[in-house]
Amino acid sequence: MIRHSVILKLKSDLGLEEKQAFFDAVDKLAVIPNVQKFEVLKQISTKNKFEYGISMEFDNQEQYDFYSNHAEHQAFIQNFWIKSVEDFLEIDYILI
């Protein structure tokens, strides 16, 4: 199991409609093949600057790579991520 996640802060000048469009686009990532336990999260600790998290699991690295390279994911990056996200951190976990 690989748990892929990203913690992010949206651009502060993002309008409500743009924000909604961003999260609608995020939701569509869940249907890319092999994506499991897809979650959209609100980050509530005051000890970091990030606002949201996206988390998903893959059975193995091949499935993760398939997702990363998938046209839908690439289109999401180009059309929504780059325009909307101010800062982020990718975190990938495996169970010890």
Applying CB under 8 A, among 38, 50, 66, 81 the residue interacting with its own copies is 50
Give yes or no for residue 90 binding its own copies (CB under 8 A): yes
Cβ closest to its own copies, residue 48 vs residue 78: 48
Contact 4, 56 (CB under 8 A): yes
Cα–Cα dist 82/42, whole Å: 20
Cα–Cα dist 70/85, whole Å: 20
Binding positions for its own copies, rule: CB under 8 A: 2-3, 7, 23, 39-45, 47-48, 50, 52-53, 55, 89-96
